[in-house]
Amino acid sequence: MPIEFLHRHSRRWNRLYRETRMVALALKSPNHPVLAHMVVTRRCNLACTYCDEFDDFSKPVPTAEMVSRVDRLAALRTTVITLTGGEPLLHPDLEQIIQRIRRHGILAVMVTNGYLLTPERIKNLNRAGLDRMQISVDNVQPDGVSKKSLKVLDQKLRWLAEFAEFPVNIHSVVGACSEHPEDALTIARRATELGLISTAGIVHDAKGALRPLNSQQQQVIEDIENLSKPLFSFARHNPWRRNLVRGLPNDWHCGAGGRHLYVCEDGLVHYCMAQRGYPAIPLAQYSQEDIEREAKASKSCTPYCTIFCIQRVALLDRLRENPRKALEELFPPQSADGRSNLPLPVRVLGALFAPPPGRPSRRFLRKTALRFLKIH
Ligand code: SF4
Ligand code: SF4
């Protein structure tokens, strides 16, 4: 038992170290992809009616091809790779692909509908070194729109709570099954009860744009955010989501094509899952110039975009470009005297990388932190 305890804790600290390094690298350099999504197979074992990212016949991308795509992303200095589909668990060599990602020091994440999880498969994913898993659960009872329901998946969530050595995020998309918006709250409560992480997204159309939420759906999002109070949660401190929930546009820069790459089953790089076709260049030929050009290009879809994982990357860029302003937007003053309520880790990072005007720069401490994180 003590050995298992030590093993889990050493994995947790190792992951925390690598995640901190990923953030520090993004804050230091604007010229590498922070996050890439890679489709391992377009085939899915389900058929949610709102989804257009699957079919029921495609073969898995050959393993040798997947390995060479991982190597190419590593050469471009990508820091996080999320394996997606279709349903990634349908790929027979998924664990081998994860191992290859980890061998490059890249964070390995996967998105799944969870149907094919068994205790043995979870243990295989542990052994392969998976860093994080996201499961989307759409409703409490399966319906004509989606079978990703709590009723079917509850046993899988219990196995994950028992066996997974990686964090599991249960994601419910508010508005995906519009008949029972309160289901998202029931799902989030169950995830919290099992010690898993719960987050909520907002349903978007085929182009990634907002579909307006009614007042009940807005309330559900707020209730889910209030369920847990972690030190920092992008969901709770996302300045863009606050506007989107109310149907308002946002003013931000999307670095897709540079800071985020979506690699489809054919090995082409696209901006994101919703903007396939741009720039649609083969990953094998994707160059540093492509990354820098696309990271700067403005995209007309930004005002109503609801793709939060890419906004998370944009937030890091905003922090690098204008750290004090970004921190003030993220943590507006809440006390009557206007003092900020920055959480401690954010205050430490702010002091190291963005000291307030008039305060001495912590160059020595900053250099030491970068050396510790092996960032040169
Ligand atoms: S499980 Fe995921 S990939 Fe499969 S149809 Fe549903 S949303 Fe699409
Ligand atoms: S703003 Fe960026 S992430 Fe959002 S849909 Fe457009 S290209 Fe995709």
Ligand 1 pocket residues where CB is under 6 Å: 44, 46-48, 51, 53-54, 85-87, 113, 148
Give the closest residue (by CA) to ligand 2 atom 7.
271
Mean pLDDT value of segment 148-175: 93
| Residue 186 confidence class, pLDDT cut points 50, 70, 90 | very high
Written as six digits, the tokens of 49 are: 């009616």
Rounded (5°) CA angle 290-292-295: 100
Q: From the centroid of its chain, how far is CA 136?
A: 12
Q: Which atom of ligand 2 is nearest to the CA of 208?
A: 5
pLDDT confidence of residue 57: 97
Written as six digits, the tokens of 106 are: 């890249």
> Which ligand minimizes its atom distance to the CA of 37?
2
Q: Of 106 and 336, which is predicted with more confidence?
A: 106
Give the closest residue (by CA) to ligand 1 atom 8.
51
- Whose CA is closest to 218, among 168, 175, 188? 175
Q: What is the pLDDT of residues 306-324, one digit of tens each?
A: 898 898 899 889 888 877 6
> Which ligand minimizes its atom distance to the CA of 297?
2
* 191 CB neighbour count, 10 Å cutoff: 27
CA-to-CA separations, 194 to 49, 77, 172, in angstroms, rounded: 29, 36, 16
- Whose CA is closest to 219, among 246, 250, 179, 240? 246
Dist. CA 85–CA 43, nearest whole Å: 7
Q: Which of 107-111, 197-201, 277-281, 283-287 has the lowest mean pLDDT?
A: 197-201
pLDDT confidence of residue 376: 63
Which residue has tokens 């919290």?
A: 192
Query: Cα-flanking dihedrals φ and ψ of residue 123, to 5°?
Result: -65, -35
Separate counts of helices (H) and strands (E) for the chain: 13, 9
| Residue 249 confidence class, pLDDT cut points 50, 70, 90 | very high
Q: What is the pLDDT of residues 339-350, one digit of tens each?
A: 555 556 666 666
Amino acid at site 311: Q
Q: Of 321 and 165, which is predicted with more confidence?
A: 165
Ligand 2 midpoint to CA 300 (Å): 8
Residues 237 and 330 sit within 8 Å (Cβ to Cβ): yes
Question: Beta strand 279-282 with 268-270: parallel, antiparallel or unpaired?
Answer: antiparallel
- List the domain boundaries for the chain: 3-320, 323-372
Q: Name residues whose C-beta falls within 8 Å of residue 231's C-beta, 6 or more positions apart in sequence.
A: 343, 344, 345
Range picked from 195-209, 227-241, 279-293 for highest mean pLDDT: 279-293
Dist. CA 152–CA 200, nearest whole Å: 19
Check if 264 has its Cβ closer than 6 Å to any atom of ligand 2: no
Ligand 2 midpoint to CA 374 (Å): 32
Burial class (CB in 10 A: 0-12, 13-18, 19+), 210: buried
Output the CATH code of domain 3-320. Answer: 3.20.20.70
Q: What is the pLDDT of residues 114-154, one digit of tens each?
A: 999 999 999 999 999 999 999 999 899 999 888 999 999 99
Written as six digits, the tokens of 318 are: 């905003």
Range picked from 89-103, 184-198, 356-370 for highest mean pLDDT: 89-103
> Which ligand minimizes its atom distance to the CA of 273?
2
3-state secondary structure of 349: helix
Check if 254 has its Cβ closer than 6 Å to any atom of ligand 2: yes
pLDDT confidence of residue 104: 98
pLDDT exceeds cutoff 60 at 102: yes
CA-to-CA separations, 207 to 37, 54, 203, 274, 304, in angstroms, rounded: 17, 16, 11, 5, 10
pLDDT confidence of residue 95: 98
Written as six digits, the tokens of 248 are: 């308002």
| Residue 28 confidence class, pLDDT cut points 50, 70, 90 | confident
pLDDT exceeds cutoff 90 at 165: yes
Ligand 2 midpoint to CA 304 (Å): 9
